[in-house]
Amino acid sequence: MNEVIAGTIIISLLHALIPSHWLPLVTLARLQNWTQRETMRLSFYLALSHVLSTILLGLLLGWMFHRISSQYQFLLVWVGPILLIGAGIYFLYRHHTHHHFHIDAQILEQTRTKKQIAYALLAYMFLSPCLEIEAYFINAGMIGPALLVLCVACYALISIAGMVVWVYLALKGIQQFDTHRLEHYAGMITGLTMVATGLFSLLTSHA
């Protein structure tokens, strides 16, 4: 149980850190000459939209696997950890091409007002849930509803706060580093964390 909570917190922190979650908004805000207040308000709603779709999917998956594991107890021992390991290996392989949130020229070409741009961004964020964290929601659901709710709460608070803070820091010009390298390492750490959590779960369940 502890490894699932720890993994959820780590993935949530990395999730907020990934530049594709906040850098495009900052770039767009500067191109559109939005005020800091407008940008910060939109960053909160975008983070909320992204987190909401992730949580809805996570609760559904967690509930489904909870129902299944209550009938087949062996799933709790093997399937959850193996799912984490498999997902971690997959994201290690695909992290360099995986983006939750990407703003391209089509958004600017197809929109005319701030409200239209905001709705387009909200739709993009809602339709691109964080898939990495879903494996943790599934594992939490198999252990119990209380753990699932705790993991969901941790993810929501950390992700929303983190994305909003990074937008603020970017607007202030405080962060000065290679964002591509940051995203590269964040993806690597995410995959390694998932694999490590799965392996640790297997070891402790058979200790």
Query: Domain extents for the chain?
Result: 2-205
Q: Give the three-class secondary structure for 15.
A: helix
DSSP state, residue 21: G
- Take residue 141 and report the two structure tokens written for it: 């659901």
CB 43 within 8 A of CB 22: yes
Report pLDDT for 154.
Answer: 94
Residues across the chain:
207
Contacts of 28 by beta carbon, 8 Å cutoff, 6+ apart: 34, 103, 107, 108, 117, 121
- Take residue 37 and report the two structure tokens written for it: 């207040």
Per-residue pLDDT of the chain (207 residues; tens, 9 = 90+): 678 888 889 888 887 777 777 777 888 888 888 888 999 999 999 999 999 999 999 999 888 888 887 777 666 667 777 877 887 787 777 765 544 444 544 555 555 677 887 888 888 888 888 888 888 898 888 888 999 999 999 999 999 999 999 888 888 775 555 555 666 566 677 777 778 877 776 676 555
Torsion of CA 195, 191, 161, 169, to 10 degrees: 140
DSSP state, residue 132: T
Q: Give the three-class secondary structure for 92.
A: helix
CB 140 within 8 A of CB 74: no
